Chain A
Amino acid sequence: MNKLNVNFLGINFDNPILTSSGCFGFGLEYKDYFNPNELGGIVLKGLTLEPRTGNIGTRIAETPSGILNCVGLENPGIDVLEKEIIPNLKKQGINTKIIVNINGSTVEQYVEIAKRVNEIKEIDMVELNISCPNVKDGGMAFGANPEVAGKTTREVRKVLNKPLIVKLSPNVTNIVEIAKIVEENGADAISMINTLLGMRIDINKGTPILGNTFGGLSGPAVRPVAVRMVYQVAQNVNIPIVGMGGINSWEDAVEFIMAGATMVSIGTGIFPNPLLPLEVKEGLNNYCIKNNLKNLQDIKGIAFKK
């Protein structure tokens, strides 16, 4: 019996393992290393209505146990998703769940892209990205302001005919407040955390290393922050959580589930170890067997229930 399967927003997932937006391209980049259908689902690279070239200059810098990035939502736009990317995923036999990450500079743009996504039947769910730290207009500005976060969620929820996950930024004073507001405004689930705003300086040049000065920090360095935030939010909302931030092993995934996450998402960890999703899956299954769990979800939130 499958101990990892999970019902998430009314859809049956084979396992709770997703790959995070921006770390798994458009689903096929890692197919030489493992079959993407082994995943519970794939969250595609962040999309906008129109194509975007992203930020210029250096986009990536390593830090201890983490990386900073300022890609800035480079993407081919929703037309290419609909006409090329999704048909190609299907042609390549991808039948795992597909979650599309949507972005905009105005509430109207978020609504417009949500309407477009409605028409693509192969997309199972939507992740509303109100937390990208690397774009000047939109992005994190939406997720850091409770009122705007609520409004964006509400307006998208009104038009969207698929389950809606709202991705939260950790760059706020009170994450619980934002989580409650997006719940009140119709979010079906929350994914957290997006990257932490950071920077590095080139000490030889005396200038910021990243082309966009600041970037989003991801990787194991942010994991304790992410676990803490999931733990706080899980106790204060009634909608499920996709936990992510520096998952590098099955043990890390267990931490997120014990903190209250229903699903877990692997991002940066796949870069050094392309086989990480499979290792996490196997490790979680073995963990269930060893601890006589009928299903992994039996340990969800036990860190605050005990």
Chain B
Amino acid sequence: MFLEDCVVLENNKISDSYYLLKLKGEKSISSAKPGQFYMLQCKNESTLLRRPISLHYINKEKQIIEFYYEVKGKGTNEFKNIKPGENINLQGPLGTGFNTDIENKNIVIIGGGMGMAPMKFLTEALSPKNNVTFICGGRNKESMNILDNFNLENIKTIITTDDGSLGIKGNVTIPLLETLKNKNIYKIYTCGPQIMMKHIMNIAKKNNILCEVSLEERMGCGVGACVGCSILTKEGMKKVCKDGPVFDSKIIIND
């Protein structure tokens, strides 16, 4: 875990209220794993807390760190106005991240909406040694603009949109069930809206497939000190910031 002032290289609108921020990082990128997050500091002092932002991608060679974020409130509104050349202070990498230590398996990765954020790094980490199916869900065609920033060679990519403007009309469970029929899937990785993950966890359970989910919660400190983001799991209280944000779906209470 590090604190580092990073120079902004790019900060561009991708669609609606979704932005892609690219920073030049040094020490804070060295050990980062897919599924981890960083606490980004706001410059306005009345906005007290740092904002937890999921890691989108790291290019270790070029020392570039990417965040795909949604402008939702005061903090992220400030982030969208940061110009290239300016600094932003990062704290991280934080949290557990996805377990990517697997080989020669059929994998399904599912990102929904903002939950696409951690999937660029994850798909790249898993695809060289595994057979990856990547299912992306969003409201409409525009919500898939972020895919232009992905490297999806050798990855079977399936798109679903709520309005049918791109890919399958409907939600991600349609192609997921289809994939499960045709392939022996070892594990599902997912991040997205609660309701989406709830259905995916149910499907994983029914089919006896391993499943890792990345959760979101309001955070104070990001390091396990304030216990503001604790959730009740089957194994007791867990801190989303430190014990997660990625959890084995087996311990998540999903009813």
Q: Check if A and B associate.
A: yes
Residues of A within 8 A of B (CB): 22-25, 29-30, 32-33, 45, 53-54, 56, 58-62, 64-67, 69, 71, 74, 219-220, 268, 270-272, 274-275
User: Is A56 a contact of B232 with CB atoms below 8 Å?
Assistant: yes
**B199 beta carbon closer than 8 Å to chain A:** no
Given contacts A33-B3, A60-B218, A60-B219, contact A65 B227 (CB under 8 A): no
Cβ of A274 and Cβ of B91 under 8 Å apart? yes
A69 pairs with B232, CB closer than 8 A: no
Q: How far is the CA of A283 from the CA of B230 in the complex (A)?
A: 34
Chain B residues with CB under 8 Å of A58's CB are: 218
Q: Chain B interface: which size bin?
A: 20 to 34
CB interface residues, B 226-255, toward A, < 8 Å? 226-230, 232, 236-237, 242
Q: Are the C-beta atoms of B225 and A53 separated by less than 8 Å?
A: no
Chain B residues with CB below 8 A from A32, complex form: 1-2
Check if B232 sits within 8 Å of A65, measured CB to CB: no
CA gap between A275 and B3 in the complex, in Å: 9
* Known A58-B218, A74-B237, A271-B220; contact A69-B226, beta-carbon cutoff 8 A: yes
Distance in angstroms between the alpha carbons of A112 and B220 in the assembled complex: 32
Residues of chain B within 8 A (CB-CB) of A22 are 226-227
Q: Which residue of A24, A59, A270 is within 8 Å of B218 (Cβ)?
A: A59
Given contacts A53-B236, A69-B226, A74-B237, 7 further A-B contacts (CB under 8 A): A25-B223, A30-B225, A64-B46, A71-B230, A271-B226, A272-B41, A272-B49
Q: B45's closest neighbor in chain A, by CB?
A: A65
B1-22 interface (Cβ within 8 A of A): 1-3
A93 CB to closest chain B CB (Å) equals 18
B231: nearest chain-A partner, CB-CB: A56
Closest chain-A Cβ to B136's Cβ sits at a distance in Å of 27
The residue on B at minimum CB distance from A219 is B48
Are A24 and B230 neighbours in the complex by a CB distance under 8 Å?
no
| Cβ–Cβ contact A69 & B228, under 8 A | yes
Given the contacts A53-B236, A61-B218, A271-B50, A74 and B230 also touching, CB distance less than 8 Å: yes
Structural contact, B224 and A25, CB atoms closer than 8 A: yes
B236 x A29 contact (CB < 8 A): no
Q: Does B47 contact A (CB under 8 A)?
A: yes
Q: Does B221 contact A (CB under 8 A)?
A: yes
Q: Which residue of B lies closest to A52 (CB)?
A: B237
Instruction: Look across to chain A and name the residue whose beta carbon is closest to the beta carbon of B73.
Output: A62
A-B CB contact pairs (8 Å), 20 listed: A22-B227, A25-B224, A25-B227, A29-B242, A54-B227, A58-B218, A60-B218, A65-B45, A65-B46, A67-B48, A67-B220, A69-B228, A219-B48, A271-B220, A271-B221, A271-B225, A272-B48, A272-B49, A274-B3, A274-B223
Q: How far is the CA of A29 from the CA of B227 in the complex (A)?
A: 11
Do residues A71 and B48 form an inter-chain contact, with CB atoms below 8 A?
no
A56 proximity list for chain B (CB < 8 A)? 232
Contact B223–A66 (Cβ < 8 Å): no
Q: Is there contact, CB below 8 Å, between B48 and A66?
A: yes
Contacting residues, chain A, for B221 (C-beta < 8 A): 23, 29, 270-271
